[in-house]
Structure 1
Amino acid sequence: MKNGKPSAYLSFTLHAHLPYVLHHGTWPHGLEWLHEAAAETYLPLLGVLRRLERDGLALKANLSLSPVLMEQLRHPTFKEEFPKYIERKMISAREDENYFRQNGEFDFAETAVFWESFFERTLKDFYDLDRDIVSGLRYFNDTGSIEILACAATHGYLPLLGTDESVVAQIRAGVAAHERHLGKKPHGFWVPECGYRPAGLWQTPIVASGEEGPRSPFRRIGVEEALAEAGIEYFFVDTHLVEESILFTPYKMMSGDLGLRLHNLPAHELKRKGDLKSIYRPYLVEGPLAHAHPVTIFPRDPQTGLQVWSGDTGYPADGNYLDFHKKRWPGGHQYWRVTEAQSDMALKAPYFPQEALARTHVHAEHFTRLVQSALEDGYSQERPPILSSLFDAELFGHWWFEGPVWLEQVVRIFAQDDVGIELTTGSQYLSQFAPEVFLDLGEGSWGKNGNNEVWLNDQTSWTWSDIYRAEEVMREIATQGRWRDDGWGLRIAKQMARELLLLESSDWQFLITTAAARDYAEKRFRGHLEQFIELEMLWAEFVSNGGLSPSAEQWLAELEERDCLFAEIDPGLWARR
């Protein structure tokens, strides 16, 4: 501390997102993804926030809630189906307990009791929230315990979208949904996949469907310009966009790409090349609107990211923690610990919750020392440095079951130890220390190799060909203005906007590239594309006849019920700029 003020700041940012899965399958791909995330991540994080508040503490973290996630969490279908899912988990835990006791496997039986208790508490928490997880998080946003960030409507990968109008629509629709669900304007924004593209000449990397050759290069606005127009003050970028670094991207950490070589890296190679202080401060983004409407960036810290993300060498690799992959069916409960990160599934040892819990405190203490070490070179600065530690929210609880408790332990240790580091949100830091230095940023992401290749490659290029055509169609219809009739034209145009947004979800390319759920992703993409084309035909019928046939009316009504997100979507967002 200097004169009673913090010498440095730590800012966690958790990004919560799932693609639109309501009415599009249940298991193994579909609604159960949402159930798992709610039970294992969102409700446990709310539990952390409540316990900290009870003790006069606050997480002081940024939490990004993607609009498509909020739409699903507040939908009646989720509110009705989630308790049924929890009850199934409780029943299967009881059945597992009986089986284990009959077979003399008492360690496993005790873990089954643990799971029944966990899901019983989860169900109670859900009903205590009146089945509204978003409202529960909104409360902590209103109190300042967390700052909820806006996000692109359906998590479209902004650098590759083919028109400025599509980028603007993803952002504006996302901000509108944020304001509707949370009751206030956002200050910060989570750019999907930390994907950034500056202003300048650009050409579609793939020929649009139905076109004979590539389009001529044309001038694009930068991502920060679209954010500035929407009133956004700051967003986040990956380390290498600020300065060259060793690319310990989250993609590599989760996929195991880093390998065992990390064990042998000297300490200085785990730090960035050049001036360490450069990533521990915010910057203003240089661009056409920079000085009239400046937007701030916070760079991602790679050191803390490596320690928390990596399933090979980070905290989640500890042998005492719950193993994510090995499950007992049909209930799907996990009874084994990591044991060793690379060990065969058959060699996994039994999981003991209390032993795992004890490790969270050890790792929380290690993390606080790691943060101190990373920031110590900046203590002498006139402006206190800030370390931005960015993660997918689902890492905490779903992928790393003990993660929420670890996060709570970190907050408590920083509150108890007078180390001169204070937790803060993006807006809270900027309200005290406005940036002054402008940076020209290149294009990039936090994906593999820091570029676009996770979303654009030989396996996914066909999706962009169809997206680019659909974007042009949507822009022309929005520009014509025939949809402003408050009748069939408006309904068709709004549903076309929804299907285009769903088509643009970055999740489909990610799931194809990683092969995590390739068949499901391809099916979903083709389904939304077919529906968009069918709506295009309905639009032509409406323009010609001023109405629709009874069968077309029924089909549209069924589609509106199935893909019912963003009820107030404005087709005018896609009108030519």
Structure 2
Amino acid sequence: MSKGQLALVLHAHLPYVRSENPTSLEADWYFQALIECYLPLLELLEESHAAEDQFPHMTLGISPTLLSLLADKELQERFQPWVLLRLDLLKEAPPQLYNAANHLSKRIKKQLLHWQSINGDLISRFSFLQKEGVLDLLTCAATHGYLPLLREHPEAVRAQLLTAVREHSRLIGSPPLGIWLPECAYYEGLDKLMYEVGLRYAVLDGHGLLNANPRPRYGIYAPICSTKGVAFFGRDAESTFPVWSSREGYPGDSSYREFHRDLGWDFPKEKLQEIGINEPRPLGLKLYRVTGVSTPLENKAPYEPDLASSLVKDHARDYLQGRKSQLKQLKTSMVVNPLLVAPFDAELFGHWWFEGPEFLSELFRQAPRENISFTRLVDSLSNSPRLQLSDPSPSSWGQGGYHHYWLNETNAWVIPEWSKAGKAMIECCDRFNGIGGEKDRLLRQAARELLLAQSSDWSFILRAGTTTQIAKERIHRHLQRFWSLVNAANDKEDLSDSLLLRFENEDCLFPFVDPRDWTPMRN
């Protein structure tokens, strides 16, 4: 094997998009990611693990909100009808798209059979792969809260972390050692809170390590350890660029499937209304290829599956050879074996880049021939006898490298709302700490609503300018519910049992959430 290793790190996350409406856009977000990304990812890992000549190792973060969706029995019951409806719609694709529609139909049916064979239980399968040494499962902040913008009240950050660790332990069966920090965002002192809740390592963008104090001897090519006892890995841009760039990387090739052209935009309104959808929108039925990055959507050519599949093999080989060249060059100037850390959003593989899961499968298949060794972050730490002591720099992997994407003219208004609600939660939990009974029930639901309001996804959507109405509605809904619950706990407002039950049924994640996580942190 080559001197040095490659660590693929995938972050699987969706906000808590549970909806009472089975035909909602939020339901589409979840079910599309499930059939395009999470099921194919599980399948390729299990198949690679079963192959005698392959050695798949990967680090996978699964956010607590995504775990909650995966474990939701009602959503599991809705999944098959959702899939069958898509299969019916594919039958109505235009004749020139027959091959592409037939290919997608077979893919969907295969994943549905996979789903049925495991009784919809992806969580236990991922957990098993961790026990087998294939996966290293990370947690995330409870609702993907952007932690640097919650730091005014350290208790709010602590509650995000404690809730995450508790939920991961409950559903995975063992406590997490590592965390994917939301948006890889870090601020000074966060490592102390991480250490106190049992978290020992995380991934940062490259400048989080390159600007660390003191500057690490090996830059991003070896983990560092902060003075508070938490290890940090740095993203290697050279290892990620060929995969994540839709214009200059592999996904932008003319033969791959086009993400933005969807049959949902082509069906007549009357047809969509028959199935409970009021306006045209993507339905996860994409039958065209990129053709050219500047080609207008209406001029895209039909997708050709065989052509794309052949290209995946070439791109996987090119990627591995690029990493081998990197490692060879790095080894000439490093005393320790270099480590390339390649972190991605998991949804890139299959959802955004349709051929992504096949690409990953090819990486594991071809790696032995290219003398590339994959590793998990936890194994890398176990095999590193000594880490350089260095405190990472505040950073994120968002646009600009710091906090601008989540703090700007489109979304800054929510930060004082988080602050006021966080302060009220801390004061209320301090007053009624461990009181039990009805007030405890009110505070538990208030905790859920506060956590949900803090999701960075809504701030991201507001900045991106897509589906902003959903983002605003979610933020306002959770904050309004929070204040009703806290006011009821403080005897300032009456809240009927029926309304409380409605809140609990609709926002029913984190069954073991604990209001004591918000009790004041006193020195």
Residues 26 and 445 (structure 1), Cα distance of their counterparts in 2 relative to 1, 3 Å cut: farther
State the Cα distance separating 1:54 from its structure 2 match: 2.2
Q: How does 1:40-189 map to 2 (within 5 A)?
A: 40-56=36-52, 57-96=54-93, 99-100=94-95, 105=96, 108-161=97-150, 162-189=152-179
Q: Is 1:472 aligned with 2:413?
A: no
Which consecutive residues of structure 2, in runs of 5 or more, have no partner in the other structure?
Answer: 268-282
1:336-369 CA-partner distances (Å, limit 9, x unpaired): 1001112111221111111101111111011011
Q: Could you tell me which residue of structure 1 aligns to residue 271 of structure 2?
A: none
Residues 428 and 82 (structure 1), Cα distance of their counterparts in 2 relative to 1, 3 Å cut: same
Q: What amino acid sits opposite 2:398 in the alignment?
A: G
CA RMSD of aligned residues (A): 1.8
Q: 2:201 aligns with which of 218, 234, 247?
A: 234
Q: What amino acid sits opposite 1:296 in the alignment?
A: A
Q: Could you tell me which residue of structure 1 aligns to residue 33 of structure 2?
A: 37
State the Cα distance separating 1:112 from its structure 2 match: 1.3
Question: How far apart are the structure 2 equivalents of 1:434 and 1:110?
Answer: 54
1:397-416 CA-partner distances (Å, limit 9, x unpaired): 00000001101111111123
Aligned residue for 1:320, secondary structure, equals coil
Residues 136 and 275 (structure 1), Cα distance of their counterparts in 2 relative to 1, 3 Å cut: closer
Residues 523 and 566 (structure 1), Cα distance of their counterparts in 2 relative to 1, 3 Å cut: same
State the Cα distance separating 1:169 from its structure 2 match: 0.7
State the Cα distance separating 1:276 from its structure 2 match: 10
Q: Structure 1 stretch 319-328 or stretch 25-34: which is displaced more?
A: 25-34
Q: 2:384 aligns with which of 411, 430, 433?
A: 433
Residues 282 and 189 (structure 1), Cα distance of their counterparts in 2 relative to 1, 3 Å cut: same
State the percentage of identical aligned residues: 32
Please say if residues 189 and 232 of structure 1, whose CA atoms lie closer than 8 Å, have aligned partners that are also in contact. Answer: yes
State the Cα distance separating 1:25 from its structure 2 match: 5.3
State the Cα distance separating 1:53 from its structure 2 match: 1.9
State the Cα distance separating 1:183 from its structure 2 match: 0.7
Q: Is 1:21 aligned with 2:17?
A: yes
Q: Is 1:552 aligned with 2:519?
A: no
1:77-116 CA-partner distances (Å, limit 9, x unpaired): 21011111111111111232xx52xxxx2xx112111122
Q: What amino acid sits opposite 2:131 in the alignment?
A: D
Please say if residues 499 and 529 of structure 1, whose CA atoms lie closer than 8 Å, have aligned partners that are also in contact. Answer: yes
Q: Could you tell me which residue of structure 2 aligns to residue 405 of structure 1?
A: 358
State the Cα distance separating 1:177 from its structure 2 match: 0.7
Q: 2:457 aligns with which of 507, 514, 517?
A: 507
1:111-142 CA-partner distances (Å, limit 9, x unpaired): 11112211111111111111112122112111
Please say if residues 216 and 390 of structure 2, whose CA atoms lie closer than 8 Å, have aligned partners that are also in contact. Answer: no
1:436-468 CA-partner distances (Å, limit 9, x unpaired): 212232211000000101111111111001000
Aligned residue for 1:497, secondary structure, equals helix
Q: Could you tell me which residue of structure 2 aligns to residue 205 of structure 1?
A: none
Q: Could you tell me which residue of structure 2 aligns to residue 518 of structure 1?
A: 468
Q: Is 1:490 aligned with 2:440?
A: yes
State the Cα distance separating 1:244 from its structure 2 match: 6.2
Q: Could you tell me which residue of structure 2 aligns to residue 307 of structure 1?
A: 242
Question: How far apart are the structure 1 equivalents of 2:357 and 2:143?
Answer: 26
Please say if residues 73 and 132 of structure 1, whose CA atoms lie closer than 8 Å, have aligned partners that are also in contact. Answer: yes
Please say if residues 70 and 134 of structure 1, whose CA atoms lie closer than 8 Å, have aligned partners that are also in contact. Answer: yes
Question: How far apart are the structure 2 equivalents of 1:303 and 1:28?
Answer: 39
Q: What amino acid sits opposite 2:221 in the alignment?
A: Y
Q: Could you tell me which residue of structure 2 aligns to residue 369 of structure 1?
A: 321
Question: How far apart are the structure 2 equivalents of 1:58 and 1:165?
Answer: 42
Q: Could you tell me which residue of structure 2 aligns to residue 447 of structure 1?
A: 398
Q: What amino acid sits opposite 1:85 in the alignment?
A: W
1:194-241 CA-partner distances (Å, limit 9, x unpaired): 00000xxxxxxxxxxxxxxxxxxxxxxx11111111111210110112
1:38-66 CA-partner distances (Å, limit 9, x unpaired): 00000000110121122133421100000
State the Cα distance separating 1:187 from its structure 2 match: 1.8
State the Cα distance separating 1:185 from its structure 2 match: 1.8
Q: Could you tell me which residue of structure 2 aligns to residue 197 of structure 1?
A: 187
State the Cα distance separating 1:434 from its structure 2 match: 3.6
Please say if residues 483 and 493 of structure 1, whose CA atoms lie closer than 8 Å, have aligned partners that are also in contact. Answer: no
Q: What amino acid sits opposite 1:416 in the alignment?
A: R
Question: How far apart are the structure 2 equivalents of 1:394 and 1:534?
Answer: 35
Residues 435 and 29 (structure 1), Cα distance of their counterparts in 2 relative to 1, 3 Å cut: farther
Question: How far apart are the structure 2 equivalents of 1:536 and 1:28?
Answer: 30
Residues 507 and 26 (structure 1), Cα distance of their counterparts in 2 relative to 1, 3 Å cut: farther
Q: Could you tell me which residue of structure 2 aligns to residue 356 of structure 1?
A: 308
Q: What amino acid sits opposite 2:510 in the alignment?
A: F
Please say if residues 322 and 401 of structure 1, whose CA atoms lie closer than 8 Å, have aligned partners that are also in contact. Answer: yes
Q: What amino acid sits opposite 1:352 in the alignment?
A: E
Q: Structure 1 stretch 361-370 or stretch 322-331: which is displaced more?
A: 322-331
Please say if residues 282 and 296 of structure 1, whose CA atoms lie closer than 8 Å, have aligned partners that are also in contact. Answer: yes
Please say if residues 150 and 186 of structure 1, whose CA atoms lie closer than 8 Å, have aligned partners that are also in contact. Answer: yes
Please say if residues 24 and 31 of structure 1, whose CA atoms lie closer than 8 Å, have aligned partners that are also in contact. Answer: no
1:477-516 CA-partner distances (Å, limit 9, x unpaired): 1111x25233111100100100010011000100000112
Residues 275 and 179 (structure 1), Cα distance of their counterparts in 2 relative to 1, 3 Å cut: closer
Q: What amino acid sits opposite 1:232 in the alignment?
A: L
Please say if residues 538 and 552 of structure 1, whose CA atoms lie closer than 8 Å, have aligned partners that are also in contact. Answer: no
Q: Could you tell me which residue of structure 1 aligns to residue 270 of structure 2?
A: none
- TM-score by length of structure 1 reads 0.84
Residues 446 and 470 (structure 1), Cα distance of their counterparts in 2 relative to 1, 3 Å cut: same
Q: Could you tell me which residue of structure 1 aligns to residue 367 of structure 2?
A: 414
Question: How far apart are the structure 2 equivalents of 1:313 and 1:576?
Answer: 49
Aligned residue for 2:405, secondary structure, equals coil
Q: Could you tell me which residue of structure 2 aligns to residue 322 of structure 1?
A: 257
Please say if residues 10 and 422 of structure 1, whose CA atoms lie closer than 8 Å, have aligned partners that are also in contact. Answer: yes
Q: Could you tell me which residue of structure 2 aligns to residue 390 of structure 1?
A: 343
Please say if residues 433 and 519 of structure 2, whose CA atoms lie closer than 8 Å, have aligned partners that are also in contact. Answer: no
Q: How does 1:336-355 map to 2 (within 5 A)?
A: 336-355=288-307
Question: How far apart are the structure 2 equivalents of 1:412 and 1:167?
Answer: 41
1:174-194 CA-partner distances (Å, limit 9, x unpaired): 011111111112121100000
Q: Structure 1 stretch 6-15 or stretch 367-376: which is displaced more?
A: 367-376
1:123-179 CA-partner distances (Å, limit 9, x unpaired): 111111111121221121111111110111100001110311111111111011111
Question: How far apart are the structure 2 equivalents of 1:81 and 1:276?
Answer: 52
Please say if residues 209 and 233 of structure 2, whose CA atoms lie closer than 8 Å, have aligned partners that are also in contact. Answer: no
Give every structure 1 segment of 4 or more consecutive aligned residues whose post-TM-superposition deviation is greater than 4 Å.
24-28, 274-277
Question: How far apart are the structure 1 equivalents of 2:13 and 2:41?
Answer: 14
1:267-318 CA-partner distances (Å, limit 9, x unpaired): xxxxxxx9994211101123xxx2xxx1100000101211111111000001
Q: What amino acid sits opposite 2:356 in the alignment?
A: G
Q: Structure 1 stretch 436-445 or stretch 84-93: which is displaced more?
A: 436-445
Q: How does 1:521-540 map to 2 (within 5 A)?
A: 521-540=471-490
- TM-score by length of structure 2 reads 0.92
Q: What amino acid sits opposite 2:317 in the alignment?
A: E
Question: How far apart are the structure 1 equivalents of 2:305 and 2:124?
Answer: 30
Please say if residues 277 and 378 of structure 1, whose CA atoms lie closer than 8 Å, have aligned partners that are also in contact. Answer: no
Question: How far apart are the structure 2 equivalents of 1:19 and 1:88?
Answer: 24
Question: How far apart are the structure 2 equivalents of 1:462 and 1:241?
Answer: 27
Aligned residue for 2:202, secondary structure, equals strand
Question: How far apart are the structure 2 equivalents of 1:151 and 1:434?
Answer: 27
Equivalences, count: 499
Q: What amino acid sits opposite 1:189 in the alignment?
A: I
